[in-house]
Amino acid sequence: MRKWKQVLSLFLSIALIVTLAPLQPAKAASIYFQFTDFSTVEASPTIVNTSTVDLRGSFSDVSANSITFKVERLVNGTVVATSNGALTPSIVGNTFLFAGVQLYEGLNKITVTGMSSSITGNGGTVEGVSYVSYGNVPVISSIALADGTVLQEGQSKIVTTARPSLIVKAANATEVLINGTSMFNGGAGTFVTSDLQLQLGLNKLQIVSRNGDKSYTLNRELVYFQANTPVAYNVFANTTQLDGNPIISPISNQTVTGRLLFSTPATATAAPTVTLELIDDTATIVSTHTATVTAGTSNSTYTEFRFTSDTAISAASSGKYQLRVRSSIYSGQEANFPVDFTVRTATAPYITGLKQVYDATESGTTVNYTSSGIFSNNAVVSQLPLYVAIDTSNFNLGSGSTTLTAKLNGTAITGSSFSSVALSTSDSQRVYRIDSMPQGEIELTFTVIKGAEKDVVTRTFNFNPISSIQVTNTFNGAVFYGAGLAELKGKLLNFNLATDIGTVAFKLNGADIPLTAAMFNGSQFTIPLLDAVSGSSKLVFGSNELVLSGRANGVYVTNTLLIYRFSDQQPAVTKLVPVPYKIDPTQDTGNTRYQSDIDNKFILGDKADNYVTTQKSVDLLFTVAKLANLIVTIDGQTYATASVNASDQLVYQVANKLFLEPDGTDTNNKTYRLRLYNVPLPVTGASSITVTSQVGTESVSQTVTITRERPTYEILSPKLPQEAVINQNFLNVSILAEGADSITIGKNEMNKSLIDDIFRYEMTGLKAGVNKVKFTVLRGTQKINGEFSVNYAADNSPGAQYKTSITKAGKASAFKGEVSVNFPKNTFLRKANESPGQDVTTIDMFDNQQVLFSIADRADGRTVKTYNAVGEYTGGTQSVAKDGTFTQIGYDDYGAAVLRPSAHFGYASKLFWIDPGYVDGTKSTGYTFHKGTQPYDLTNLFHQRPLSRWLETTNPGTITLKYDSGIINTAANTLSIWRYYNGQWTNMGGKVNTGSKTITTPIDGFGYYVVMQLRYSFTDIIGHSYARNSMELMFARGVMISTSNNEFGVYDNITRGEFAQLLVKMFQIPLDYNPNDMTFDDVIPVIGISRLWDYRYIETAVRKGIIRGKGPRQFLPNEALTREEAAVMIARAANLLKDGKDDQTKDRATLQKQFTDANSIDGYSLSSVIAVVKAKFLEGLPNTTTGTAKPTYRFDPKANLKRADAAIIAERVMRKNKLL
């Protein structure tokens, strides 16, 4: 007994120690987490091929609100990347669902954790682990024609159009190619093409999907049959296929079989007879064979016959052959179809490839090269000579020969317009040098011949010669010291040497330098620049202008170089070049400062180095060679100094005056390119700037004199003549007028800048055509009148802009009615609700803000690509106005990506940008109004714009857009208006007017608007027997969405949550919700929990009295909806129940007369069922086994409502309410 107590005491001590130890995470076991879909064994993970998965499972003894997950990427058992899940689980009972978990490529370890409710104390973390392997392979899952016909491997599909549309589904693919041509990426792994050009007969398709370094390849076959043109296909010599232009081994005594298609005759017709002719590449008929014909398949389009040759056919020699399939006349059609193939014996010569050779060097007839590339069809060829090398097999020049011929636009080239020379490498490879060929589509035919056998390869490309004179041993702006450049070397590109070389001329500093034949070696030239007698350089010290010119194939070309020669002992200063000051170069990170006077702000006067300008300041560019000390004086006064230290670095004695330009500076040779920046000029008069470079006792100077004239005024915007024609009904006017007190345009006074003497004013309401603008500049008592004109084009093309205000009647339109908005009277603008659908707590209303309408480029949404930067200033300590300069807005990849239409949809109208601007401040502090701007305004980029920088209307209204007038009326159901706002596209639906080709939808705000068209549907919709049109209409209008990217979910049960959302959408009820005050506990206020329902719509539906819960604060949004529940919701939403007083006995008696299962309808549903049936929103289902002659119907109240039937209901409701 004592021993037992000792043992018990030992166990209790151990237990106490264990309880005192820190708690560790408890490993997952069946009592905590179980996974529905995924393996829990690392060595045998679940294999998936989608980047996101739904993580499902069950849990026990775990707090539901503590469940989270993380995903880890494993490589060789080591974690190399981790992401903590940010998704909120959907909890139903003891099951959890994380929808859309993002996976890493490779092996993923998914850990689900939570707090165990069975562990006392400070709680315990429990976890469950599953393993998923994501291969990211671009698998092709389906290849189908546009009508849904799936193409199977090894089966030839007959089509009757030369350009069929193909749809390829390839999950994870970023690119899909068919026979090397890229398909259009329709999103969601769907790729589409209609660019295939089929040939009559068999067409072999190679489909390759790619994704980074992975690819996936399948092969399919199409047979193109054209009506009344008989076509042969699937032609075999025994088991060797002959059609499709294959290369095959010799065939000997083989029976030929095949199929022959004819258009189906109107009446029964006897089968035709078939004859086979084998023709070689000399057009000689080698043999003729009769064939036995049997009937094949037949339909209303074509009739197929199968043929088998009565005698064996042989093609033993190498060469190109044609098996011509002929027939007797069959219903007016006579077959004469060629089947081309090539026979190649084991010893026959053939061309394995063609290469374009670069850096070729010749010695007699031998050529060598160090670089080459594949010479393919559609190769880029723009200069001659062109070197092409032939790679061969079973061939050498010792026992064979080669030929090269050419065609221009399909016609053989004769005469001297095409010339080539056959060369060979040291290892006997044939290389052709092509010296001349005409411009256009060139077809080159290369042939290798060995005895009686040969092989032929052709290449077709467009030759667009770019003639030029290239200099190879120097460049524009080069600097030389001492004797300088001894000779000028280069080559003539695309010159006809026989006729054009005599036109080549050379000028040095304006003097003609005679050229001799000895200076040319073919297209290459070497021109000496040293005097033949004295040996001295022909280049002068300082700048030298070299001009090479000539006429190539009738086109005059020149090449002008400016190079510099400096003494290697004496200092030198190049010509001083004045340019406008734009920005402090030390702060010019964007390299926007001027390198030349592109706008001619400094006009050269009568004397050299004398300029006249109206600029207030100047930058001076110059280069100093052999610099030791530098002195800059202005009007005789020292302005800046610098020197070179022992490390050849430039040291400034006066800061903030000189800037060393990196381009053109060579410290090793003490050559420095400098900028003297922001030098102030006098109000009026001349200023002389002298730059002196000193080395010891020697010095050299350059002086420039700039005379400033004070302008009466300078019109900076519009900048004429560039902006003489504009495509907007408003104009930002900018006028520089130094010393002016004011400028008025008509009775409107322009706004003077607080920084400089620039006056700005926005003119609105321009009329189409020429607008003459008169203005008056006031200086004291002096009045100066001026005017300019601009032509408002009023063209409805991308880039068009139009400003207008919403009238008191609530209307506004632009672009000749292509876009219009209509609001109730006394509609104002207010700050946008930053929580759409919730109550607006503060309303500040505005009535004088103009709305900007623009037509955008649908590629990336730009409404403006180049603009006059009125009101913008450069950065830096001394900013300068950009008025009068143009700023480019480049293509934006991100903008293009976010504006790309959603999968299944494409643009069907112009893309409109509508922006009323925004307002800062409050009524108490004062408002600051900001005008509507183009979407790529750097201070307000559309894809970064917060809701606080938008205005919206106080009342909802409608927008009407014109769509593509070429869209036929029967396609109107595929149209809808989409809005891009707050970072996403939203399908707004719409009502179509086919007469005016417009579509109208409710709106309460602004952004991008466009009409989109449903371009392609879903497979399960297309195959549905009765609801296809309704589902496509509801999907196109945004009333319903698909269950996944690959299918609509036609046969799925509709859930309570989705149907509640469907009701709000089809009755167009404005959203009304507050995420902090939700009615149902199981409708979590997080967007994205379900693909098919959004909490905002469910909350709106309950607040409007349309739906009720299935328990206290419980809605069960993911539960399937029954038909009687749907009837109740519809009746409430449509206000079909007038008084709310039910007489269940009477109602059931009424329904018993209509439906055999009326007794199974719940009492609360009776009046609703009567109402929706009477309104013809829901119908009864016929009983098929009643045993009576009179048809009877049932209602199936407890049956689940399918999504297909929900679409029909939605269409009926919306049509009755005239919302479609």
Q: Is the Cβ–Cβ distance between 575 and 477 less than 8 Å? A: no
* CATH architecture, range 350-463: Sandwich (2.60)
User: What is the chain's length?
Assistant: 1220
Closest to 384 (Cα-Cα) out of 360, 410, 365, 353:
360
SS3 489: strand
**pLDDT recorded at residue 1188:** 66
Q: Are strands 782-792 and 725-726 parallel, antiparallel or unpaired?
A: parallel
Helix (H) or strand (E) holding 1059: helix 1056-1066
**pLDDT recorded at residue 641:** 87
Closest to 877 (Cα-Cα) out of 1001, 708, 755:
755
Instruction: List 763's β-bridge partners, or say none.
Output: 731
**pLDDT recorded at residue 554:** 77
**Residues near 524 by beta carbon (within 8 Å), at least 6 away in sequence:** 489, 490, 491, 492
Closest to 337 (Cα-Cα) out of 425, 437, 409, 233:
233
Spacing of C-alpha 893 from chain mean position? 7
**pLDDT recorded at residue 323:** 95
* CATH architecture, range 140-224: Sandwich (2.60)
Select the CATH number that applies to the domain covering 23-134 from these four: 2.60.40.10, 3.30.70.260, 3.40.605.10, 2.40.110.10. Answer: 2.60.40.10
Locate the domains of the chain by residue range: 23-134, 140-224, 231-343, 350-463, 477-566, 572-708, 714-789, 801-1014, 1026-1216
Per DSSP, the chain holds a count of helices (H) and strands (E) of: 11, 91
Q: Per the omega criterion (within 30 degrees of 0), is the bond before 721 cis?
A: yes
**Cα dihedral across residues 594, 599, 605, 607: positive or negative:** positive
* CATH architecture, range 231-343: Sandwich (2.60)
Same CATH fold, 572-708 and 350-463? yes
Closest to 1047 (Cα-Cα) out of 390, 188, 68:
188
Torsion region of 1171: left, alpha or beta (phi above 0 gives left; psi -120 to 50 gives alpha): alpha
Phi, psi values for residue 1029, rounded to 5°: -60, -40
CA atoms within 13 A on the CB side of 285: 9
SS3 963: coil
d(CA 538, CA 212): 57
Closest to 812 (Cα-Cα) out of 958, 977, 919, 932:
958
Instruction: List 416's β-bridge partners, or say none.
Output: none
Closest to 1128 (Cα-Cα) out of 1153, 1147, 1145:
1147
| DSSP designation for 314 | E
pTM of the full structure: 0.52
SS3 1040: coil
d(CA 644, CA 627): 7
Closest to 775 (Cα-Cα) out of 739, 742, 732, 730:
742
CA-only gyration radius of the chain, Å: 41
SS3 1088: coil
**Cα dihedral across residues 933, 938, 941, 945: positive or negative:** negative
Q: Which CATH superfamily is domain 714-789 in?
A: Immunoglobulins (2.60.40.10)
d(CA 1034, CA 1030): 6
Residue 677: other Cβ atoms inside 10 A:
24
Select the CATH number that applies to the domain covering 572-708 from these four: 1.10.3470.10, 2.40.170.20, 2.60.40.10, 1.20.1740.10. Answer: 2.60.40.10
Could you tell me the fold of the domain covering 477-566?
Answer: Immunoglobulin-like (2.60.40)
List the Cα angle 47/49/53 in 5-degree steps.
85
d(CA 1174, CA 958): 32
d(CA 858, CA 891): 11
Q: Is the Cβ–Cβ distance between 781 and 836 less than 8 Å? A: no
**Residues near 135 by beta carbon (within 8 Å), at least 6 away in sequence:** 47, 48, 49, 105
d(CA 169, CA 186): 10
Which residue ranges in the chain fall short of pLDDT 50? 1-30, 119-122
d(CA 883, CA 135): 55
Closest to 432 (Cα-Cα) out of 454, 406, 453, 450:
406
Closest to 492 (Cα-Cα) out of 404, 551, 420:
551
Q: Is the Cβ–Cβ distance between 701 and 542 less than 8 Å? A: no
d(CA 946, CA 940): 9
Q: Which residue has the tokens 């001799």?
A: 516
Phi, psi values for residue 974, rounded to 5°: -95, 0
